[in-house]
Amino acid sequence: MSKIITIHSFRRGVGKTSLISNLAVLLALQGRRVALTDRDLQSPSIHLFFNLSDGEDAHALNDYLWNKCDILSTVQDVTPQIAENPTGKLFVIPASNNLADIMQITDTPPNIDRYVGGLEKLGKELSLDMILVDASAGLNEDTLQAIAVSNVVVLVLHPDQQDFQGTAVAVDTIRKLQVPVIHLVLNDIPDNLNEEDLHVQLEKTYQCGRGIILDHTEELMTLASAQPFVLSYPEHPLTARIKELAEQL
Ligand SMILES: Nc1ncnc2c1ncn2[C@@H]1O[C@H](COP(=O)(O)OP(=O)(O)O)[C@@H](O)[C@H]1O
Ligand SMILES: [Mg+2]
């Protein structure tokens, strides 16, 4: 079975989608066979990083979850976008940005068995090493179910009291769900904070190791989710930090 790595955060807008897209690219460039799944059905956005539009024949994860198609027909191979002939592969399973599809989540939450069945089929048919999942923020039941079937959770937070407190609740919950590994990522750090102090604070507060710290990076903001940062800035210190995390996965 391929490893399921889910990215989550207590609050929205902390950099989950940017980070998971970049991790997926780096892992595929390192030779892994990777699927990147947009499970944030309420704020779908992975399609933007890979320029995928809602075509007539294109299916989204929503179509699979609500029994309209097979999981394999939602898969888009974006490997040619990341390198000419990489040894790895990157497949994207986008979510729909159609209003009716987004509204449907509130009426009929997705079925967890169908979701897990889809991931298993993807893993087997595409011979995947890992499935990266962009989950929605907050601790609603749907997200908790997606987290519970993960082997690893990457938890992203901002240096903000609201995040520090909310993340404590999230770590506690994820531990209760018996997810074996949690990685913490403190993102969007301003220059004036001391990194070593932050590592110590993370370790002491959550007991999930020292965590990864990512600086506030204007170049990333300027890209405005139009493409993965690590492809545009392969030599940037932020890319090196994201690689450190990729190596731990
Ligand atoms: N380290 C960073 N430095 C500067 N801007 C960032 C950083 N990480 C994320 N962003 C920006 O923050 C915004 C939210 O990021 P996004 O990945 O969409 O968050 P989420 O998926 O958690 O809602 C985006 O505009 C993104 O470009
Ligand atoms: Mg997002």
Q: What is the pLDDT of residues 186-227, one digit of tens each?
A: 999 999 999 999 999 999 999 999 999 999 999 999 999 999
Q: Which of 215, 221, 230 to mutate to test the pocket of ligand 1 (most atoms within 8 A of CB)?
A: 221
Ligand 1 neighbourhood includes 214 CB (under 6 angstroms): yes
Residue 56 has pLDDT above 70, yes or no: no
Ligand 1 neighbourhood includes 135 CB (under 6 angstroms): no
Atom 12 of ligand 1, nearest CA residue? 15
Query: Average pLDDT of the chain?
Result: 95
pLDDT for res 202: 95
Ligand 1 neighbourhood includes 129 CB (under 6 angstroms): no
Residue 55 has pLDDT above 90, yes or no: no
Task: Give the mean model confidence (pLDDT) for residues 169-188.
Answer: 96
pLDDT tens, residue by residue, 58-111: 899 999 999 999 999 999 999 999 999 889 999 999 999 989 899 888 888 899
Atom 16 of ligand 1, nearest CA residue? 15
The model's pTM is: 0.96
pLDDT for res 197: 95
Q: At 143, which CATH number? A: 3.40.50.300
Listed in sequence order, the residues at least 6 apart from 122 whose beta carbon sits closer than 8 Å to its beta carbon are 2, 35, 71, 72, 75, 91, 93, 128, 131
How many domains does the chain divide into? 1
Q: What percent of the chain is modeled with pLDDT above 70?
A: 98
Distance 16 CA to ligand 1 centre (A): 7
Ligand 1 neighbourhood includes 2 CB (under 6 angstroms): no
Counting beta carbons within 10 angstroms of the beta carbon of residue 38, is it exposed (0 to 12), middle (13 to 18) or buried (19 or more)?
Answer: buried
Distance 49 CA to ligand 2 centre (A): 11
Residue 57 has pLDDT above 90, yes or no: no
Listed in sequence order, the residues at least 6 apart from 79 whose beta carbon sits closer than 8 Å to its beta carbon are 28, 86, 88, 89, 90, 91
Q: Which atom of ligand 1 is nearest to the CA of 14?
A: 22
Ligand 1 neighbourhood includes 136 CB (under 6 angstroms): no
State how far the Cα of 200 lies from the Cα of 27, in Å rounded to an integer: 28
pLDDT for res 58: 80
Counting beta carbons within 10 angstroms of the beta carbon of residue 14, is it exposed (0 to 12), middle (13 to 18) or buried (19 or more)?
Answer: buried
Ligand 1 neighbourhood includes 9 CB (under 6 angstroms): yes
Task: Give the mean model confidence (pLDDT) for residues 164-186.
Answer: 95
Atom 6 of ligand 1, nearest CA residue? 221
State how far the Cα of 238 lies from the Cα of 185, in Å rounded to an integer: 13
pLDDT tens, residue by residue, 114-154: 999 999 999 999 999 999 999 999 999 889 999 999 999 99
Instruction: Name the residue range of residue 124's domain.
Output: 3-248
Ligand 1 neighbourhood includes 217 CB (under 6 angstroms): yes
